[in-house]
Amino acid sequence: MSNLLVAQSGGPTVAINATLVGVLQGVRASGKIDKVYGAKNGIEGAIKDNLIDLNELIRDTKAMDTLTYTPSSALGSCRYKMKDWRKDDEPYRKIIETFKKYDIKYFIYIGGNDSMDTVDKLSEYCSLNNHDFFIMGAPKTVDNDLNLTDHSPGFGSAAKYIATTIAELERDINVYDIPAVTIVEIMGRNAGWLTAAAALARVNGGTGADLIYLCEKDFDNERFIADVKKKLAEKPGVLVAVSEGVKDSTGAYVSDQMSSGAVDNFGHKYIAGAARALEQMVRNEIGCKCRSIELNLMQRAAAHIASETDIIESLMLGQKALTCALDGQTGKMAAIKRLSDKPYLVEFISVPVNEVANHEKVVPMEWITPDGHDVTEEMMDYLKPLIQGETNLKYENGIPSQIKLY
Amino acid sequence: MSNLLVAQSGGPTVAINATLVGVLQGVRASGKIDKVYGAKNGIEGAIKDNLIDLNELIRDTKAMDTLTYTPSSALGSCRYKMKDWRKDDEPYRKIIETFKKYDIKYFIYIGGNDSMDTVDKLSEYCSLNNHDFFIMGAPKTVDNDLNLTDHSPGFGSAAKYIATTIAELERDINVYDIPAVTIVEIMGRNAGWLTAAAALARVNGGTGADLIYLCEKDFDNERFIADVKKKLAEKPGVLVAVSEGVKDSTGAYVSDQMSSGAVDNFGHKYIAGAARALEQMVRNEIGCKCRSIELNLMQRAAAHIASETDIIESLMLGQKALTCALDGQTGKMAAIKRLSDKPYLVEFISVPVNEVANHEKVVPMEWITPDGHDVTEEMMDYLKPLIQGETNLKYENGIPSQIKLY
């Protein structure tokens, strides 16, 4: 018997189940796997012997189709960080026990940075202990901060949601003829890729976000207020996009500047976001109408506006990870290599996971305009292909169809 | 010459341009109108002689189609409240001047409560001064609080966005195996219709929002904390939907309870929303992980997930308002009369605008469950038909096509 275990980890995206489906499609097509199991709540399911039988699902075409368009991790997720096995090898031994108990030969872990760290450590542990398992990673993160892959599954769909939402907000904030500033906070503590996607609202000629501040660039309060005043002189409705993780030159989060002094009636500190802090700043410094909006979990959960390109690539990466495992690869991650922007061409490769784990791919400074409040044409060329196409998502009784695996 | 003026007012919705298109389609079909103008920024455009020529648009089928699916008021909007003409008739005289200057015989005003008040006062003023103008209102409001119409254009699409988003968030918040409360704030200061739409996330069997609090019912902090604790005992991820306007038994906004004490570093008061206040409350009283989410402007701007039923009815109401004006009606509003839920059947009627203006249709108490944290089957039967169907929205370069009229 040679069975397969698959698991999902880290923050949810709308494409992580497409990659799971890609793995299952590969299993069905290869005919080389006897049984398929899913680990519940990521690697924790393997440690705790908490598996889900996926052998019925794999034969249910309709369910597989619905799963492709269901947001978030259908197998559950975790934030578990594996310790160094030299210090504590107990979780490693438990995982091996589970592998042996279920005759598991192949393990595919779909996730971000921490998950690739798990793939790295576990594959190293197995090799050094002469365990014959094949362990592959498949990428996933809305933040798009994974190393050695052109971009990551989930990012394109989040970017499409952000571009669409900014374009819709542009219409909304421009109906009145009075000065008003709207500040939209977008996910990204250290990487501004998602915030850059706000510029995609312009692809059909709109202004989109008038000002875009990425967390890679030091944020200057005075320059920000000056930028906003300048835009207000040109038009009444000013739309600002800002990374949640913008920091000043000392490395202090902008969100802390304002909220540090704020306490509620119980004396508890208010944890305000960056947009909220900037909203206060605009009220205090300019005094015009100002509103802050957090795209919050919607930007990583909005499967109804997923990018077809993103979903197809996510499926392909799941299939690629399986193929690599069947070919005897281990300690690698399936990745996307871009061959050209126009026409948009990619190929699917595998990369050493130890060069992915614990690295963070941030936006190159040269893709941020010198004035610090916009992105360059190179960034636009990089982003545009990733939001192309709409999916075949089915609706039932007026809302998108979804599936639950447990 | 008998020309027509059309204008939009109040808060934007994703259906208000469909009603504008309905008016223009009616003009084209009737052949009884020589020229069509739009007043920029609502009635202010009529007062200030600031009109937009719509006679080219009306012959451009593609532009009309794109306009149907473009969110917010394409003619701009205003919050202008007409004074009693007995006290100050200057704005009335200026409007009549504009009407005469452009040979305008028919005026259609698309909007909510204040706009219907304008239709009421202006039509009364014209009749009493023997001016032969025909003035009709067409409804619009995401809040669904307009009197004498079964529901209002814009509401069904906002409800579809809310139902879809809650269903997506349900997936997102249930991936981890740790207790966490997510509180979603939904528009509605005095009417809880939009918040009730959170229950529609269950139409395909999901749990949707576990607890739903409408602003019509007195909000009790202790009962709320008890409700959340009870749900946390059943499942780790608890999803709460709450109206922005929830108030305690003294009529004080819940949002004020927490934020009243909070000030930023400049000593300025924090204006926290209801969800933010309840997030603090859960942290203080229960101490588990808690997150608040405001659907904010997205719920009234998300044209990409508009309800086909809503858009079609919005078109029909624009056509109905025009037909009534051509038939010599004035001081009326086009409205929807529901004939049955299953099958869903409606007819389009006209109602006296003075019975619409300055009334607020709130959720009947008997449609809120006795425990105070959910809605009844009657409410579900009322809501379900309104979110049915997806639109023919076109995408261009990965985002929805839109049109700007100025």
Q: What does DSSP assign to residue A197?
A: G
Q: Strands A36-39 and A51-53, how do they pair?
A: antiparallel
Per-residue pLDDT at A289: 93
Give B370's contacts (C-beta < 8 A, 6+ positions apart). Answer: none
- Does A392 contact B at CB distance below 8 Å? no
Measured in angstroms, the CA of B398 and the nearest CA of chain A are apart by 4
Sheet holding B211-213, edge to edge: B211-213, B237-243, B180-186, B289-294
Per the CB < 8 A criterion, the answer to whether A195 and A239 are in contact is: no
Per-residue pLDDT at B255: 87
Per-residue pLDDT at A98: 98
Q: Residue A268: is its pLDDT beyond 60?
A: no
Per-residue pLDDT at A187: 96
Nearest Cα to Cα of residue A67 among A24, A103, A120: A24
How many residues are listed for chain A in this entry?
Answer: 406
Residue A48 has phi, psi (to 5 degrees) of: -95, 10
Task: Map B301-362 to HEC letters.
Answer: HCHHHCEHHHHHHHHHHHHHHHHHHHCCCCCEEEEEEEEECCCCEEEEEEEEHHHCCCCCCC
Per-residue pLDDT at A29: 95
Query: Quick one: which H or E segment has residue B167?
Result: helix B155-173
The Cα A322–Cα B152 span in angstroms is: 52
Q: Residue B264: is its pLDDT beyond 60?
A: no
More confident residue, A217 or A264: A217
Residues 197 through 236 of chain A touching chain B, CB cutoff 8 Å: 200-201, 203-204, 206
pLDDT in tens, A124-183: 999 999 999 999 999 999 999 999 999 999 999 999 999 999 999 999 999 998 999 999
pLDDT in tens, A342-390: 999 999 999 999 999 989 999 999 999 999 999 999 999 999 999 999 9
Residue B70 has phi, psi (to 5 degrees) of: -90, 125
Do domains A2-141+306-357+393-400 and A155-301 share one topology? The answer is yes
Per-residue pLDDT at B270: 56
pLDDT in tens, A33-90: 999 999 999 999 999 999 999 999 999 999 999 999 999 999 999 989 999 999 999 9
pLDDT in tens, B170-191: 999 999 989 999 999 999 999 9
pLDDT in tens, B26-43: 999 999 999 999 999 999
- Does A384 contact B at CB distance below 8 Å? yes
Helices and strands: H and E segment counts in chain B = 13, 13
Per-residue pLDDT at B271: 58
Q: Which residue of A has its CA nearest to B157?
A: A398
Q: What CATH number is given for A2-141+306-357+393-400 in this structure?
A: 3.40.50.450
Burial environment of residue B332 by CB neighbours within 10 A (0 to 12, 13 to 18, 19 or more):
buried
Catalytic, A143? Answer yes
The Cα B91–Cα B44 span in angstroms is: 9
The Cα B67–Cα B64 span in angstroms is: 5
Chain B residues in contact with A284 by the CB 8 A cut-off are 266, 268
Per the CB < 8 A criterion, the answer to whether A400 and A394 are in contact is: yes
Token pair belonging to B211: 């607890």
Neighbouring C-beta atoms of residue B252, cutoff 10 Å: 12
DSSP A345-388: EEEEEEEEGGGTTT---PPPGGGB-TTSSSB-HHHHHHHGGGG-
pLDDT in tens, B288-304: 999 999 999 999 999 99
Task: State the pLDDT confidence band at A253, using cuts at 50, 70 and 90.
Answer: very high
Residue A41 to residue B206, Cβ atoms within 8 A: no
Residues 255 through 274 of chain A touching chain B, CB cutoff 8 Å: 257-266, 268, 270, 272
Average pLDDT, chain A: 95
Beta bridge partner(s), residue B307: B390
pLDDT in tens, A190-219: 999 999 999 999 999 999 999 999 999 999
Task: State the pLDDT confidence band at A279, using cuts at 50, 70 and 90.
Answer: very high
Distances (CA, A) of B341 to A170, B96, B281, B383: 36, 43, 40, 9
Residue A398 to residue B163, Cβ atoms within 8 A: yes
The Cα B121–Cα A50 span in angstroms is: 69
Domain ranges of chain B: 2-141+306-357+393-400, 155-301
| b/e map B278-313, b = 16+ CB within 10 Å | bbbbbbbbeebbbebbbbbbbbbbbbbbbbbbbbbb
Per-residue pLDDT at B177: 87
Residue A169 to residue B399, Cβ atoms within 8 A: no
ipTM of the complex: 0.96
Q: Dihedral, CA atoms, B209, B210, B214, B219, nearest 10 degrees?
A: -140
Per-residue pLDDT at A202: 97
> Considering only the top CATH level, what class is A155-301?
alpha beta
Give A388's contacts (C-beta < 8 A, 6+ positions apart). Answer: A307, A308, A309, A344, B397, B398
Per-residue pLDDT at B257: 74
Query: Quick one: which H or E segment has residue B377?
Result: helix B377-383
**CA within 13 Å, CB half, B255:** 20
Task: State the pLDDT confidence band at A265, using cuts at 50, 70 and 90.
Answer: low
Tokens 């290869």 — which residue? A30
How many residues are listed for chain B in this entry?
Answer: 406
Per-residue pLDDT at A269: 58
Q: Residue B140: is its pLDDT beyond 70?
A: yes
Q: Residue A13: is its pLDDT beyond 60?
A: yes
pLDDT in tens, B309-353: 999 999 999 999 999 999 999 999 999 999 999 999 999 999 999
Per-residue pLDDT at A137: 98
Q: Residue A397: is its pLDDT beyond 60?
A: yes
Average pLDDT, chain B: 95
The Cα B118–Cα B46 span in angstroms is: 12
Q: Is the pTM of this model over 0.90?
A: yes
Give A41's contacts (C-beta < 8 A, 6+ positions apart). Answer: A50, A75, A76, A77, A78, B175, B176, B177
Residues 86 through 145 of chain A touching chain B, CB cutoff 8 Å: none
Q: Residue A258: is its pLDDT beyond 70?
A: no
Residue A177 to residue B297, Cβ atoms within 8 A: no
For chain A, percent of residues with pLDDT exceeding 70:
96
The Cα A350–Cα A295 span in angstroms is: 33
